[in-house]
Structure 1
Amino acid sequence: MSPASLDEALVAAAQGGSAEAFSRLVERHQQAVRAFLRRACGDWSAADDLAQETFLAAWSRIGRLKAGASVRAWLCGIGYNKHLTAVRSASRERARGQAYEDDREVTLDAPAEDKIALEKAMAELPAEQRACVALCLAADFSHAEAAEALDMPLGTVKSHISRGRARLLLALGVCDDAS
């Protein structure tokens, strides 16, 4: 039996639900997929993780593989898409980290007495108001994200932010021109 016809038989069996047939496909192609991902990533550890993700995704998508298609090419395509997703995710993470550092530098430039006054004013807020203010005003969460994170109704989060902001401004002696 030729390698291509063996792959076709294994694919057909795997599409029928045979985990053993899929396991044989993994055995047959894992070295090629790992080698490709190692070259694409340049990081062996990341490539091995991506290869595992590739085979997990392939198992759930085996029904989509068309008869006669190259299993190796299909698996490498899934792996490459996993790699691209990881690269985009890492890029977003670097951007978030840079934004955090940029915001942190601005905060660090504030006079120490202002920081102390703000911390004291925050500590005096009720716990739920403090949590809402910390997420929405300090961590740039949307009201909906804060509501989800804190498991509170959206209207409650909005009220806590409004009241908490007003209390902070009053405690800091700042005039609220926004009202």
Structure 2
Amino acid sequence: MARRPFAAALVLGASALALTGCIPLPPALPATPTAAAPSGSAGVSTYTVDDRLGDVWSFRVTGVVDNPPLRMGEPEPGTRFIAIVIDGEHIAGSFAFKDCFDMFIQGTDGELYDFADTFTTVTAENDIYEADTTSFTGAHAVVQLPEDVDPDLVVFRSHYGHPQVADTVIDVE
């Protein structure tokens, strides 16, 4: 687990030296995405994402559920919960799925709604927060949306690989 802080320290140290003119900057990383195609239908495609720091996850969205069963938490007035239902398999590395990805729902209003806004106060049945770190089926990532906004897209962003690792964007049917 110490590889990420160590990698960050190396980058910051090299950047500081480069700014002082002591060493030249290395060439920029290519923007070639390592994620799957930028869009697809829920439940149809499996995506494999390499964060370029040692973790590789293969996953698919098997559904998007309105008002999923919860063990803890309630939506704020004027909002409702939507669960992204995910199957995942850890191909390489040691970080849990929830630690490797920022998960969003883009609403029909064009706004991005973040899983990170709810995961500390809401626990769904079969919650992604409790998912196994090697493989899991039907895990729920709960996102809060306004009552009058429907889910349009599901977006998975590599927490450590972004922006070099392209977002995985899935159409909600």
The structure where helix makes up a greater share of residues is 1
Same fold per superposition (TM over 0.5): no
- Structure 2 length as normaliser, TM-score? 0.22
Select the structure with the greater relative contact order (CA < 8 A; seq sep ≥ 6).
2
Greater Rg by CA: 1
- Structure 1 length as normaliser, TM-score? 0.22
